[in-house]
Structures are given as structure tokens and as C-alpha cells.
Structure 1
Amino acid sequence: MTSEPFVVFGYGSLIFKPPPHTIAQVPGFLKGYVRRFAQKSHDHRGTPESPGRVVTLIHKEDWDKFSGADAFPDEDVVWGIAYTIDPAFEVEVRAHLDYREKDGYTLETLDIYGIVDGHEKVNIAGAFCYIGRTDNPSFIGSEPLDTLADRIWRSVGPSGRNKDYLYNLVEAVRTLAPESHDSHLYALETRLKMLDKGGDNKE
């Protein structure tokens, strides 16, 4: 008997930096979630002393509890990519991803949707996904967009500049789903570009 393949859904850096040993990838979206820069990054896009910000998934109803500084909690559609991992390397890839996502993320399973003949349909049932739950130590919740943008713009970590993470994610999402609504992501992009033009970059 063969086991089910290991399928992991990427909605953040996994979109532009896929996991190794991928044998198939399928674009899709989630229902009932928002993608928000609500997770501190102490080890990739920031430091323990000055953490950056990276995305996590949050149930829309849960986000309502944290969205005082968020003007668009219900408009966004979370597009990403479901990656099927070569079974021969599953253990290796799981270990790699567990380490990569160690800063507050938990492995959960979600249904991935696609559009078939004009209708929403579950493409992949029970794909694995790393989520920073609202009770994890690195979850920061909702911040004013200008404050959040400034933090992202200034932060740097071992994996590079925090703003490059955002720009890479914006480009990947636009390429993946040009007509999708991800107003939180695009609003941050606008603010960072303004900082690039007129800010006092201290990097």
C-alpha cells in the first residue's frame, strides 16, 4: 500500500522559494482565511533584537479580533501554490521545512480550491500548510500600516532584507493570480515604494 503524497501549500516565501524535490505544483486559493504580515521574524528577515515581519494565515473570524488597524479584513483572497514532494525525499523535505518554519509556525491541513468551469472546487483536500497561530510567541497581530511598512522597510536578517521578501511575494502573487484581491499586501507595497523614494534608508 502506498501512502498519500506529501503536499504542502505555500502562501509566503514558499511561492518564490519553493521547497526542494518538488515533482508537481498546482496554484490554488484558500477560503475563510486572510494573509497578513502579523508574524515576527527573528531568524530570517530580522534578528532577535529587531525582528522583521512575515506573513501568516489567520481565519477571517479570528482576524476580526485583531484587525483594529486593518481597513480591509474581508476583501483578500489568499492565492498560493500546492507542491507535491517526491516521496523518496519526504522525510528530508519535512525536516527542511520544519527548520525553515521553526519561528512560531505549526503544521496544519487545509483544503485548496481552484476554479473549474467557472465554479470554485476543492482541488486538493487536506494539503499541509505552515501557519503561525494567534497564540504562538511570534504572533504580533494587527499593526498600523505605516508602522508595519516602516518595520518591514528597515528590517534585515540572515535571509536578507525584509522589504525584498515583501516585493518578491507581491510579484509572485501578481504573476500567480493577476486579478486576485490582496489589498493588505498591495497597500504595504505602495508604502514601501514611497519609503524607497523618499525615506532615510539606514541599511
Structure 2
Amino acid sequence: MDRNDFWVFGYGSLMWNPGFEVEESRPARLHGFRRALCVRSWVHRGTPDQPGLVLGLDRGGSCWGMAFRVAPERRNAVLDYLRERELVTHVYKERTLPVTLLDGVRAPALAYVIDRAHHQYAGALSVEEAAVTVSTARGKSGPNTEYVANTLAHLREMGIRDHWLEEVGRTVERLTCGG
């Protein structure tokens, strides 16, 4: 692996919709952070009166996602694109973190982690707390339940398990279907 390679780590919609051209993509694990519904959404999946929840990388645990290698000549354009996409409200911090690719090779990758001091940070929620919020929130991009269901469907398609998020999904179904 070339130490000048530029990798981007995706843990949510970036995994199935990176929005930029990649040279290669590989499953990768990020240690020290977990995928969590920890970002309050006041526009796309909720409102100021009834915020929804979207994904962020929060401290603790580990997270399987996708690492994308970007051609050197596209690095600056991809950085510009990602900053426009991910740093709209600055709820995320841009960090370069070591990821472990599926073959065991470690590589530095650009990742966006939650800023715990930001007013949109929802904290470490229980399954029940997250599910109650998700089951009632709706924003301009649709119901928060659709966001969670879509995320889980894509994770399943990619062969990635996220037990906490799966439990949130099951609890949302129980709350919304009365099951």
C-alpha cells in the first residue's frame, strides 16, 4: 500500500452513495468509534419541535464500514465535495483515523466523527430512547423510520451487521406497528 494513498471511511449513506469516483472500495473496520443515531435532525428527518435522529460516529466500540481509495489527482475535489456534504452545520469533525481493511492492512482514512460539544449531539441513547424518537419524527426528506429502515437494508445488502441499530429497527417496528 502506498503511504500517499487517500482513503475515505464511510459508515452510513456514504457507503452506498459516496457521490465521488473511487479507485477501489474495501470493507474496513474503525476501532474506537461506533455507528450511532446520535445526531439530532431538525430538517431532513425531523423538525425543531420534534427532532429526528441520523447517524454519526461516536466514541467507543468499533464500526464496520467501507474504505474508498481516491485517485491522487481527485483528492482536492473529493475533499471539497465531502466538506460541503458533511460539514453543513459542523456537527461532525473531520479526522484522519486508522482503519483496518478486510485483509488486515491498516490505512489512514478520512472520517467524520460527531462533535460531542455541538448542540445537535443527542448523546448515547438507549435502544428504547432512539426508537421512540425515530418512530415519531418526520422532516423534509420523509419519516425518520424510513431513514433507519433504508440504512438497515443497505447494511444487510453489504453484509454488515450492526446489532444496536438492528435492535432500534425492531423496536421502531414494534412501536409503529403495535407488535
The alignment's TM-score, normalised by the length of structure 2, stands at 0.82
Determine if contact 1:16/1:168 at 8 Å carries over to the other structure. Answer: no
Partner of 1:34: 34
Determine if contact 2:40/2:52 at 8 Å carries over to the other structure. Answer: yes
Partner of 1:162: 144
3-state SS in 2 of match to 1:27: strand
Deviations 1:75-126 (A, max 9, x none): xx4110112234444333322222222230111011111343xxxx2x3421
Determine if contact 2:33/2:63 at 8 Å carries over to the other structure. Answer: yes
Determine if contact 1:112/1:124 at 8 Å carries over to the other structure. Answer: yes
RMSD of equivalent CA atoms: 2.6
Q: Does 2:77 match 1:95?
A: no
Deviations 1:129-154 (A, max 9, x none): 01112222211102343232121122
Partner of 1:50: 50
3-state SS in 1 of match to 2:50: coil
Identity %: 29
Distance 1:127 1:90, change over 3 A: same
Partner of 1:71: none
The alignment's TM-score, normalised by the length of structure 1, stands at 0.74
Partner of 1:172: 154
Partner of 2:66: 81
Structure 2 unmatched runs, 5+: none
Structure 1 unmatched runs, 5+: 61-73
Distance 1:124 1:175, change over 3 A: farther
CA distance in 2, matches of 1:25, 1:189: 27
Deviations 1:31-88 (A, max 9, x none): 222221111123432234432111222222xxxxxxxxxxxxx6xx411011223444
How many aligned positions are there? 176
CA distance in 2, matches of 1:52, 1:80: 23
